Each structure stands twice: as structure tokens, then as C-alpha cells.
Structure 1
Amino acid sequence: MDPTYPLFPIFAFLGFFLSLVPLSWHLQAWNSGTCFYMIWTALACLNQFVNSVVWAGNALNPAPIWCDISIRITLGASVGIPAASLCINRRLYQIARVHAVTITHAEKRRAILIDSLICVLFPVIFIALQYIVQGHRFDIFEDIGCYPSIFNTPVSFVINSMWPIVLGLISAVYCVLSLRAFMHRRSQFNQFLTSNASLTVSRYFRLMALAMTEIACTTPLAIFAIYLNANAQTMQPYGSWENVHFNFSRVEQVPAVLWRMNHLFVISVEMSRWVAPLCAFIFFGFFGFAEEARRHYAMAFWAVLKRVGFRPRVTVHALPG
């Protein structure tokens, strides 16, 4: 039995809840990078929650269609969250080097379009390319659930493993440039924030702290994951398309007693599934205690309790605007 059960499903569901509740507030503020961060984190947490509950204590295959969807959410989130962090850093840099006090609606729409290409189109292309190194349909690990089957070959490094590192390094460059631009243009920066109702100084620095924390975690964890994958399983040459995709439709169902025998593989699997709740709680740590966030969480909390017959003793008001 999973030693983290039921702790992990609880944390995964809380991560889903904490990530998704403030979404409407950030949508109104046109914070597209932050919204994509919340959406990818919430999807990853929900995906892990379902898997950890359905496959607790078993390695059966009752929902193959779900697993086809689940592994693609797992793959998409692995680059979607770092991509969203990149977009946050990119926006912070643009604000720090601002040349005009106001931003037009056309500029906002263009920024959202670029963020959408980075956070949606790029993960979709990434997911599609994984078929090149996908050995078979999917794996099911007892206590873990659906898991992508990536053929351990040098080609998978280029197609699968290196992109979180690339995104993290680009984010780091934007972060350094943001700090540099902020130090050179502090007075104009303060003037811009004063005229911008959707972004206060406090919110700007919380976004900066979130992005810096994400950078500090993404690149080292991605490098460590490559090390684990390279050593937990034997590295094999790609060979040919037919070799990699032989009997592609098969599903490997692995009981916990077998996959837990490989210590490095256990670390790799557990790390990959705990990353999503960790991202959610990091987000909550930076934004969950702000006044507007507390109000949104309170509204969501009482909305859930009302479904089961409870009523709040005090009235929870919605945010203006």
C-alpha cells in the first residue's frame, strides 16, 4: 500500500482547489501568464488526485480512455507550468522596462496571444512529439496510476527531457533582466503601477517571488530527473521506428512490489507527482494571504458548505469590479 495514502490525494485535491479559486480574479486583471500557471497546476493536481484514488492498492486497467487523457495531461503540465512561469517573467520584464505609463488594449491582446502560443500551443506540440519516443500506449503503476511510457533513449532527451530546462533558463534570463531594468527605471516603474489598477507594487513583487521560486525549482529538478531516468533504467539506442513502437497498443500493469524495488525509479515517480501540489502550495503561499485572495477563498469555501446545508454566520462580499 502507498505509504503516502491518503496524504497525497488530500494534498493533490487541495492543490487543485487552491490553484483554481483565484482564476476569475486574475482573468479580470488580464494576467494571462498567471492564469495559465493556475490552469496547468490545477489540471495536474486533479489528474494526480484521480489517479491516486482510483489506483490505490491496484494496477488494474478499468479506464483506458482516461489513461490516454491522463498521460497527456502529465506530459503537458511538465512543460506547461514552466512555460507559464516564463510568461510571468516575460511580463514582469516588460513592465520593468516600460516606456509608456499606459498600455493599450491592442498591446494587452497581443501579449495574451503570445502567452497563449507559449502556454497552450507549445505544450500541444510537445505532447504530439512524444509519440516519437513513446514505447507503448501507457503504463499503470499500482498506487500511482496512469504513467507515460517514454522509451529511454538519447532521442528522448531532445524531445522530452530538455524542455523544462530550456524554459527555466529562458525564465532566469528574463528574471535577471527584470531586476536590472527595475533598478534603472524605478521612478517610471512606480508611476506605471500607480496608473495600473490591475497590478499593485505588492502584487508585482509577489509575482516576481513566485517566478524566482519557480526558476529555482524547475531547472535543478529537471536536471535531477534526467539523472534519475538515465540511471534508473538502461539507456538504449533508438534503433528504428518499428523497434520503438513494437506492439504499441499494449499496456504494462506493474504492481507496487515490483516497481518499488528500483529505488531511483521510486524517487523519479514520486517526485514527478508531488511537483504539481508543490507548485499549487507555492502559489498559495505568495498569493493566498492577500486580502482579495482571502475573500475569494472564503467565498468558495462557503459555496461548498452551502451545498451540504451549512450557512456562513457572516456575509462574504464579492470583490468590486
Structure 2
Amino acid sequence: MGIVSDPSYPAFPIISGVSFVLVLIPLPWHLQAWNSGTCLYMVWTAIACLNLFINSIVWHGNALNSAPIWCEISSRIIVAGAVAIPSASLCINRRLYQISSVRTVSVTRADKRRALFVDLAIGVGLPLLEVVLAYIVTGHRFDIYEDIGCQPAIYLTPVTFPLVLCWPIAIGIVSAVYCVLTLRAFGRRRAEFAQFLSSHTSLNVSRYFRLMALATTELVCTIPISAYGIYLNVSDGGISPWISWSDTHFDYSRIGQYPSAVWRMDHQAVVSFELSRWLVPFCAFVFFAFFGFAAEARKNYRAAWILVLKLLHFKIPAKSSLPVAASSKPSLPNVKPSLSLPTPYSAPPSFKDLYDEDDDCDTEKGAGTPVSYDFKCDSSDSPNTSSSARRSVDRTRETV
């Protein structure tokens, strides 16, 4: 009966589990780069996907209170996640605006720490504050819906709107303001912005716009979907009057348990549940679509694959080098002295500086260590030949 009543099983557990893995794949190199906004986005999305995956497996075909402690945690993750993902998007939009405004190219360590603390206050502080505020309008411990799992028991009163329901919309509006300001600043200072990027090889235009596309996509979805969720809540059960704290929390230890045959009779409840839980894997797939196929991502995939082969004791084939034909290079006579010059190499820019302009931008790039050359003169050479060779080396040094 459970399989018949839940048409999304086993598709939803599979997709949410895959989403949990996919959104965490780029996390290691983002952590190394201290890209706090994208790291918060990945971590919160992964936590939300894992929570939905566990609920869809444990409560498939039943509404039993088999894990009360987990439901206490799970219901609060749902409350925090509704604010956490828009908050992480706000951090990304805020940083993109700072880059597009190009106010300074020299950032101190104090500026880096301050930017990190602000992102943590937005991306972690706001979701935790939302959990605290949601307790004010929580009627009882939690609810369990068959095939859905644990859900917070939010009591819909006029107080619920400013404390719980309106936060995603408010955060989305602030993100929208930053997004518009970013596009405006980029349009006005396009030449200066391009010059700023060209002077720092670590910044990349395509990576900058991938982040902007991610934040804009999330922004476009947040405001209308949150508004539609409020409409579903209001039109379904109506708004109850706020009487008092004791009235709201009366019989707080109660746990609501609802079989799918009961709650699926309400069409609006079905739309609300399915919309809210499918949106989280969608956020994970959108992030992976923007950043999961970049050049650095493919490099890390190869490194991870090599690590797996090593753990399984498979032989890793070495990279084959192309043979050089003897006729491709003319053979040189026995020339003395021989001078070997190093080939300059510049590493490809990493994602760490995608929108983190707080690298030490005032550091000279490309300044290598002085190269010392050993010059040997054959005893048979005349002094004039030796002097000529020295001048040749001096010219070579100047060229290098």
C-alpha cells in the first residue's frame, strides 16, 4: 500500500541521495579557497538533502514514532533550511556586488576576517535565529506524515508571518537589491572591471558569471515560491488568532501522526509537501550544473578517481610522453658553452579567487627567483671568443 500511495518512491530517495553527494563534490577546493558563501550554500543544501533522504526511507509506508529524537532534529533542520539556502545566496550576491564595485584592490587580513564573520552571521546566524523564533509558534513537538516523515508543527497565527513565513521573502528581496546593484555597477564600470580582472590572473570572468547565474537562479525561485507557500498555508487551514503563549503551547508533548490516506485527500497539502521537498534537490542540481563540469572540477574528479584506484590496488598507467623524431630538430654541432634556460610556467587560476577578491592583490605575480648560470670557456678558445661569449650571456640574461 505504501508504494501505491507514494508515486515518488523510490525516485525521490534516489534523487535526494544523489543530490547530497553531488552538491558536496566541489566543497574541498572551495574550503581551501575560503569561499564562505558557496561553502554555506553547499553545506546547507547537503544537510537538507540528507534530511529528506532519511525521512523518505524511514517513514515510507508508515507514520510510526520510531525515532523521536531524530524527528526533533529533523523538524528544526527543515525550519533552518528554509532560511539557510536563501541566506547563502544573499552572501554570494553581496560578495559579487563587492567585486563588481571594484572599490579597492588591496585587502588586509582584517578585511578577510571581517568578510568571513559577516558571511557566517548571515549564513549561520539567521537560520539559527529562525529556529529560535519558530519555537514561539510551534504548537507541539512535531508531526509525522506517512511517506514524508518528520515535519515542524507550526501554528498558523498572525504572529507566524513575521516570525517564520516572511523570512525567505525578506532575504530574497535583499538579495534582489544586491543583484540589481551588481548588474548596474558592472554596466557602469565595465572597462574598469575588465581592467581589474586582466591585472589579476586569478580572477576569471566566466567563473564570476557562473556564480552570478547561480545566485540569480536561486533568487528568481525564492520569492515567488515562498509567496506561493504562504498562499497555500493561508488558503488551506486559515489563520487562527494568537491568544497567548500558554494557549499556543498547550499539550506541547503531543505528536501528530497522519497516514497518507488522510493527508493525501487534501490537494493543497500534497502540493505544499511535494513542492517544498523537491525544491531542495533542485537547488543541489542547479549548483552542480554550474560548477560540477568546470576545468578544476574535472581535475579534482581525476584526482579522486586515482585515489580510488590506489585504494583498490589497481595499477595506474603513467602519462605517455610523445616521442620526438630525430629529424624534427636539426642536430647541433658540439657547441661550448651550453646554456640551459628554464621554461616559464604559470599555474592555471584556481576557483579560490572566483569572487574572493581578497587575495594579496598588491603582490607582484610572475617574479621568479634569479637564475644563476655557469659559463665555461674551453681552453682552446681565444680571449676574444671568451669575451664575445660573455657578452652573449649578458644579452641572454637581459632577455630573460
State the TM-score bracket (shorter-chain normalisation): over 0.9
Aligned to 1:42: 46
Aligned to 1:232: 236
Q: Is residue 193 of structure 1 aligned with residue 193 of structure 2?
A: no
Contact 1:71 1:138 in 2 (8 A): yes
Q: Report the Cα distance in structure 1 between the residues aligned to 2:109 and 2:286, rounded to whole angstroms.
A: 31
Contact 2:310 2:316 in 1 (8 A): no
Aligned to 1:99: 103
Aligned to 1:23: 27
Q: Report the Cα distance in structure 1 between the residues aligned to 2:210 and 2:227, rounded to whole angstroms.
A: 26
Q: Report the Cα distance in structure 1 between the residues aligned to 2:220 and 2:127, rounded to whole angstroms.
A: 21
Aligned to 1:54: 58
Residues 104-162 of structure 1 deviation map (CA, whole Å, 9 limit, x = unaligned): 32212211110000011111111011111001000000001010100011211111110
Q: 1:226 to 1:312 in 2, by over 3 A?
A: farther
Q: Is residue 113 of structure 1 aligned with residue 117 of structure 2?
A: yes
Aligned to 1:5: 9
Q: 1:26 to 1:197 in 2, by over 3 A?
A: farther
Quick one: which of 138, 147, 154 aligns to 1:150?
Answer: 154
Q: 1:156 to 1:301 in 2, by over 3 A?
A: farther
Amino acid at match of 2:185: A
Cα offset for 1:243? 1.3
Q: Report the Cα distance in structure 1 between the residues aligned to 2:200 and 2:20, rounded to whole angstroms.
A: 30
Quick one: which of 177, 181, 187 aligns to 1:177?
Answer: 181
Q: Report the Cα distance in structure 1 between the residues aligned to 2:7 and 2:143, rounded to whole angstroms.
A: 21
* Number of aligned residues: 318
Contact 1:18 1:280 in 2 (8 A): yes
Q: Report the Cα distance in structure 1 between the residues aligned to 2:315 and 2:157, rounded to whole angstroms.
A: 56
Q: 1:304 to 1:166 in 2, by over 3 A?
A: farther
Contact 2:202 2:349 in 1 (8 A): no
Amino acid at match of 1:125: L
Aligned to 2:79: 75
Contact 1:22 1:297 in 2 (8 A): no
Contact 2:97 2:178 in 1 (8 A): yes
Cα offset for 1:250? 1.0
Residues 188-217 of structure 1 deviation map (CA, whole Å, 9 limit, x = unaligned): 322333455654111100000001101100
Matches within 5 A, 1:202-213: 202-213=206-217
Aligned to 2:333: none
Aligned to 1:279: 283
Q: Report the Cα distance in structure 1 between the residues aligned to 2:137 and 2:305, rounded to whole angstroms.
A: 43
Cα offset for 1:235? 1.8
Larger radius of gyration: 2
Cα offset for 1:304? 6.7
Contact 2:144 2:256 in 1 (8 A): yes
Aligned to 1:220: 224
Cα offset for 1:245? 0.7
Amino acid at match of 2:247: N
Q: Please state which structure has a larger fraction of its residues in helix.
A: 1
Q: Report the Cα distance in structure 2 between the residues aligned to 1:182 and 1:214, rounded to whole angstroms.
A: 20
TM-score normalised by length of structure 2: 0.75
Q: Report the Cα distance in structure 2 between the residues aligned to 1:85 and 1:130, rounded to whole angstroms.
A: 22
- The range that moved more, 293-302 or 235-244, is 293-302
Identity over aligned residues, as a percent?
Answer: 57
Q: Report the Cα distance in structure 1 between the residues aligned to 2:310 and 2:275, rounded to whole angstroms.
A: 36
Instruction: Specify the SS of the correspondent of 1:229.
Output: helix
Aligned to 2:382: none
Q: Report the Cα distance in structure 1 between the residues aligned to 2:349 and 2:184, rounded to whole angstroms.
A: 35
Cα offset for 1:30? 2.1
Aligned to 1:134: 138
Question: Which runs of 5 or more structure 2 residues have no equivalent in the other structure?
Answer: 320-347, 351-400
Q: Report the Cα distance in structure 1 between the residues aligned to 2:13 and 2:315, rounded to whole angstroms.
A: 27
Cα offset for 1:187? 2.5
Contact 1:302 1:312 in 2 (8 A): no
Amino acid at match of 2:145: F
Contact 2:90 2:172 in 1 (8 A): yes
Instruction: Specify the SS of the correspondent of 1:252.
Output: strand
Contact 1:55 1:142 in 2 (8 A): yes
Q: Report the Cα distance in structure 1 between the residues aligned to 2:169 and 2:125, rounded to whole angstroms.
A: 18
Contact 1:101 1:195 in 2 (8 A): no
Q: Report the Cα distance in structure 2 between the residues aligned to 1:184 and 1:143, rounded to whole angstroms.
A: 52
Question: Which runs of 5 or more structure 1 residues have no equivalent in the other structure?
Answer: none
Q: 1:301 to 1:20 in 2, by over 3 A?
A: farther
Cα offset for 1:280? 0.3
Aligned to 1:294: 298
Contact 2:306 2:316 in 1 (8 A): no
Q: Report the Cα distance in structure 1 between the residues aligned to 2:309 and 2:279, rounded to whole angstroms.
A: 29
Q: 1:304 to 1:43 in 2, by over 3 A?
A: farther
Cα offset for 1:61? 1.1
Amino acid at match of 1:200: N
